Amino acid sequence: MSQAKHLIRIWDLPTRLFHWGLVLLVGLVFLSALLGALDIHEIAGEGVLALVLFRLAWGVHGSQTARFSDFLGGFAAIQKYLVHRESKSAGHNPLGGWMAVAMLAILLVQAITGLIANDGIFFQGPLAHRTSGIISDAATAVHHQLANLLATLIVIHVTAILLYFFVGKENLLMPMLSGKKLVTTSVNSIHFSSSISAAKILCVVILAIVILLAVL
Ligand code: HEM
Ligand code: HEM
């Protein structure tokens, strides 16, 4: 017997703006690195840092589906999802959740190593002068390696979304655009936090980065 489907809101506006802002900035970060435009690279990379720090805070204080506690699960949760396609969250399934955390973690390390990296010639990150040359060079090496890993994860991420659509007949993209998803199961009402509190968190994060970079 086929169950009736209904459209519900699963992603809040801040999470969606975060995602598409991240896509834009990460695109700019890669493009500027490719072109050797390191001034733009630095600003875009610091923008990524602000977005990631915002997302970490939103993962604790934000809407239900944005919270790490809502979508991260252990081995049993992953197994349940793989075998029965059952997931406790209306947002990310357990695999998507860990993929999101992996990308956030790499972006965070990438931004921090970038701040102390150097290009060996003219350019160095704004905090490179606070470290020794050896540490700056080591950070640069990590920055290079992680850039490759990140690019690989992004390709896997987009391929997975396409596979869900064409093979699994599940449209994950539409919810990330409109916020709404067609679901068959009965989902209990989802708690949403206000976009104003998200804007406040983002302002605090940006201010903290600007002050730290000015003081250090
Ligand atoms: C979080 C986002 C970031 C990503 C994804 C990223 C990615 C990259 C990539 C792909 C490269 C080229 C690596 C290569 O040639 O193999 C690069 C180089 C570089 N990045 Fe970033 N970066 C980020 C943030 C930053 C930040 C915030 C800074 C601070 C200034 C920075 C400073 C540098 C420097 C100095 C280089 C040149 C290293 C060299 O030429 O040897 N990056 N980055
Ligand atoms: C620079 C490239 C990208 C990065 C770094 C990235 C990163 C992320 C992250 C961190 C999340 C988790 C969102 C959250 O919980 O806040 C996510 C989810 C998502 N991304 Fe991307 N993304 C990228 C490109 C794309 C593109 C091009 C698409 C379109 C095909 C896309 C579609 C999605 C969708 C549909 C989700 C939700 C997946 C789900 O329902 O579990 N992403 N992405």
pLDDT tier at 30 (50, 70, 90 boundaries)? very high
pLDDT for the residue 178: 98
Task: Evaluate whether 26 touches 63 at the Cβ level (below 8 Å).
Answer: no
pLDDT tier at 185 (50, 70, 90 boundaries)? low
Pocket test for ligand 1, best of 41, 43, 149, 152 (most atoms within 8 A of CB): 41
pLDDT for the residue 100: 98
List, for residues 2-16, the tens digit of each pLDDT value. Answer: 567 789 999 999 999
Beta carbon of 116 within 6 Å of any ligand 1 atom: no
Q: Look over the chain and give the mean of its residue pLDDT values, rounded to a whole number.
A: 95
SS3 169: coil
Q: How many CB atoms lie within 10 A of CB 187?
A: 14
pLDDT for the residue 20: 98
- Residues with Cβ within 8 Å of 182's Cβ and at least 6 positions away in sequence, in order, are 5, 6, 7, 171
Question: What domains can be seen in the chain, in order of their start residue?
Answer: 6-215 (1.20.950.20)
d(CA 70, CA 66): 7
pLDDT at 36 over 60: yes
d(CA 164, CA 169): 6
Distance 153 CA to ligand 1 centre (A): 17
- Three-state secondary structure of 35-90: HCCHHHHHHHHHHHHHHHHHHHHHHHHCCHHHCHHHHCCCHHHHHHHHHHCCCCCC
pLDDT for the residue 184: 73
Task: Evaluate whether 147 touches 106 at the Cβ level (below 8 Å).
Answer: no
pLDDT for the residue 94: 96
**Rounded percentage of the chain residues whose pLDDT exceeds 90:** 89
**Rounded percentage of the chain residues whose pLDDT exceeds 70:** 98
pLDDT at 67 over 80: yes
